């Protein structure tokens, strides 16, 4: 016969199982898993696919605790998912740059975010499976731009789309994206031309610096 304590323990285990993404330190595990895999498990610095504009797909499912009172995935939780999906893309594309720089200088390059903007188009229901498809689309002399799309599994419709800009840093020094791509063997004149052509779309959404001096 089950006791009240046993029933409570089982229900608690089930609750946290369906809300695994919200367990304390779960975000840290998900974030560092890609770093650990690419830098310590799969030590081959060469990327599987030699295409700077390739798409990386990250899969997840909306947990109950991610949902708001409207009965769908809360807007704020999209950004914690983006952290994981974008990191998976960046370490895959720039693994050789990271590893070679670490070997030569003893220091890691890091990529702080400069800005992120998201447009929400369709809801994601509780427990629904979805993917985040991310790829590099553009860069200039300082910033590298990544586009990520949230899509329901089996339904090729965009639920949300995000644009993020990164900057490569080595201490206080800024590394141009083209230099990082050259280190990976992914830079070509054709890729540069394509990236520059996409810049206006990205900058138009993220160039919010002009509002800094706006009076409120």
Give the CATH number for residue 36.
3.10.129.10
Cα–Cα dist 171/173, whole Å: 5
Q: Which domain holds residue 161?
A: 17-43+52-206
Cα–Cα dist 42/198, whole Å: 32
Counted domains in the chain:
1
Residue 22 has pLDDT above 90, yes or no: no
Residue 209 pLDDT: 66
**Residue 28 resides in a domain:** yes
Phi and psi at 141, nearest 5°, equal -75, -15
**Residue 2 resides in a domain:** no
Rg (CA), the chain: 20
134 contacts 55 by C-beta, under 8 angstroms: yes
Task: Tell me the whole-structure pTM to 2 decimals.
Answer: 0.83
Residues 6+ apart with CB under 8 A from 96: 45, 46, 47, 183, 184, 185
Interval 110-118 mean pLDDT:
91
130 contacts 62 by C-beta, under 8 angstroms: yes
Give the number of other Cβ atoms within 10 Å of residue 94's Cβ. Answer: 26
**Residue 66 resides in a domain:** yes
**Residue 4 resides in a domain:** no
Confidence of residue 37 (pLDDT cuts 50, 70, 90): confident
Confidence of residue 168 (pLDDT cuts 50, 70, 90): very high
**Residue 111 resides in a domain:** yes
Interval 107-114 mean pLDDT:
90
Confidence of residue 70 (pLDDT cuts 50, 70, 90): confident
Q: Is the dihedral of CA 62, 63, 66, 68 positive or negative?
A: positive
Please report, to the nearest 10 degrees, the dihedral formed by the alpha carbons of residues 37, 41, 45, 47 taken in order: -50
**Residue 164 resides in a domain:** yes
């Amino acid at each position: 016969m089950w006791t009240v304590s046993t029933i409570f323990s089982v229900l608690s285990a089930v609750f946290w199982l369906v809300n695994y993404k919200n367990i304390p330190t779960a975000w840290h595990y998900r974030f560092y898993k890609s770093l650990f895999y690419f830098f310590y498990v799969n030590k081959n610095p060469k990327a599987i696919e030699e295409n700077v504009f390739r798409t990386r797909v990250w899969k997840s499912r909306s947990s109950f605790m991610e949902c708001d009172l409207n009965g769908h995935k809360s807007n704020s939780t999209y950004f914690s998912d983006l952290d994981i999906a974008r990191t998976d893309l960046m370490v895959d594309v720039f693994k050789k740059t990271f590893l070679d720089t670490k070997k030569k200088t003893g220091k890691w390059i890091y990529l702080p975010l400069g800005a992120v903007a998201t447009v929400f188009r369709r809801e994601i229901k509780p427990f629904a499976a979805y993917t985040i498809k991310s790829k590099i689309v553009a860069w200039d002399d300082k910033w590298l731009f990544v586009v990520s799309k949230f899509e329901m599994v089996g339904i090729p419709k965009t639920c949300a789309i995000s644009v993020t800009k990164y900057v490569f840093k080595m201490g206080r020094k800024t590394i141009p994206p083209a230099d990082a791509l050259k280190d990976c063997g992914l830079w070509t004149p054709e890729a540069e031309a394509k990236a520059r052509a996409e810049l206006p779309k990205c900058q138009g959404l993220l160039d919010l610096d002009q509002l800094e001096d706006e009076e409120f």
